[in-house]
Amino acid sequence: MKEIKEHTISARQACVIIVMCIFANKILLLPSLMYEKSKADAIFAILILFALDLIVLPIFFKLKQLFPNEKLYNILSRKISPFLTKLIYLIFSAYFMFKALLVFSVTYVYFKQQIYQDEFLFLAIIAFIPVINHATAVGLRSFARSIELLFSIVLLGFIACLAFSLFTQLSMPIFFISNAKNFFTTIYEHTFAFGDYIFLFLIIDKIQIKKGQEKNFYFYSLLGMGLILALFFLFYSKYQITSFMHNNALADILVFSVQFNAIGRLDIIAMLTVMVITLFQLEIYNYAFSESFLSLFPKLNVYYSIAVFDILFAILYYIFIGKYEILVGSSDIWSPVPAIFINYIIPLICLIIILIELHLKKRKKKDQTYLSNKK
């Protein structure tokens, strides 16, 4: 029992991890990208995408209830075949790798523009990679505690950015000006930035959820989503028709804000907040890649998965996604297809498994009742 407990996390730790996933790829570049086609109606697009994510949460709870201590890999292997499960986990590995690449690329460009004004890729890599590798090596419980410990500080920094932006010139965004085609195209193209609960499915056997704690997941989820929606609203209120030109939303809403004598530049708050959030997000995606990789190759240990992650990360970044323009330009071409499969098809498969399992249990109970009455 003690060994099992050492490899599990509490419901609150899972909740704060989910908030970090909700923040991922949404606080810097996404508001600008979504504005290009759907204008301020992007707020309604993100509402729909958040609603689709929330629908996945009860599926996770029911799957956890039916298979409380089983890995997702074992559940899928038994229910849909080992071959298809290996294929799904291979897609998982690629999915979380590209999530990590996207987070790193966007944040790297942000810091290059704000601080260094020049290339500092080597410095960024030696600063980020050892930290996220160590988090994966020590295990989920340890880095979940770190996120839980610093969560209040991150939340305070995020809220401070939103609050200080109120001292800038704001005006109500103009809604309902995009056509239906552009609106739904925006939803489709940016699906990859969502799917925030998939990580929970991957670590379903490692989460301890006591009776009544399900509501905590909804509370933290709505908190994270509410902050993102507030960011989008304030960003569009500040920049209006020029929103597409500003690529660092959380920092850009502080531009031209009041400078208090005792504080100086307020954008340091955004820098520190983005840095900590990015580290946590990279830790989560590195661990998710490792979990997927080790499920495919169970005889290997975590250090092999870390080495594979680092090598693939370097190769893909330098050869395929090294240029920021390539990353942004390709996001609406290749990313929606795997995102739709992972974000929605996998939970749908889990829902089908749940319904079949409930049907079998109901049938078994009915047969037992019949045999009991017959005796």
- pLDDT (tens digit per residue) in 314-369: 888 877 655 556 666 666 677 888 899 999 999 999 999 999 999 888 888 776 76
Q: What is the dihedral of CA 230, 236, 237, 241, to 10 degrees?
A: -170
Per-domain boundaries in the chain: 9-374
Measure the CA–CA gap between 72 and 315, rounded to whole angstroms. Answer: 29
Partnered with residue 9 across adjacent β-strands are 207
What count of residues does the chain have?
375
Q: How far is CA 246 from CA 31, 99, 280, in A?
A: 9, 22, 24
CA atoms within 13 A on the CB side of 341: 12
The dihedrals phi and psi of 70, each to the nearest 5 degrees, come to: -100, 145
| Average model confidence (pLDDT) across the chain | 88
pLDDT tens across 292-317, in order?
999 999 999 999 999 999 999 988 88
Q: What pLDDT does 4 receive?
A: 43
Q: What is the rounded distance in angstroms from the CA atom of residue 233 to the CA atom of residue 332?
A: 23
Q: Give the pLDDT confidence of 71-116 residue by residue, as tens digits.
A: 999 999 999 999 999 999 999 999 999 899 889 888 888 888 777 6
What residues contact residue 152 under an 8 Å CB cut-off, 6+ apart?
none
pLDDT 10s digits, 170-179: 899 999 999 9
- Predicted confidence at residue 330, as pLDDT, reads 64
pLDDT value of position 245: 87
Report the alpha-carbon distance of residue 180 to residue 191 in Å, rounded. 17
Give the pLDDT band of residue 1 (cuts 50, 70, 90).
Answer: very low
| pLDDT one-digit tens code per residue, 115-146 | 766 666 777 788 888 999 999 999 999 999 99
Do 250 and 273 touch, CB atoms closer than 8 A?
Answer: yes
Structure confidence at residue 257 as a pLDDT band (50, 70, 90)? low
When pLDDT is averaged across residues 368-375 and rounded to a whole number, the result is 66
The class of domain 9-374 in CATH terms is mainly alpha
Cβ pair 236, 45 in contact under 8 A: no
| Selection from 68, 298, 79 nearest residue 205 by Cα | 68
Q: Are residues 267 and 254 in contact, defined by beta-carbon separation less than 8 angstroms?
A: yes
Q: What is the mean pLDDT of residues 157-163?
A: 93
| Alpha-helical runs (H) found in the chain | 2-6, 11-23, 30-38, 42-66, 72-80, 82-111, 121-138, 140-165, 180-189, 198-202, 214-239, 249-252, 267-296, 302-315, 324-330, 336-340, 346-374
Distance, in Å, from the CA atom of 199 to the CA atom of 10, rounded to the nearest integer, reads: 15
Residue 316 pLDDT = 84
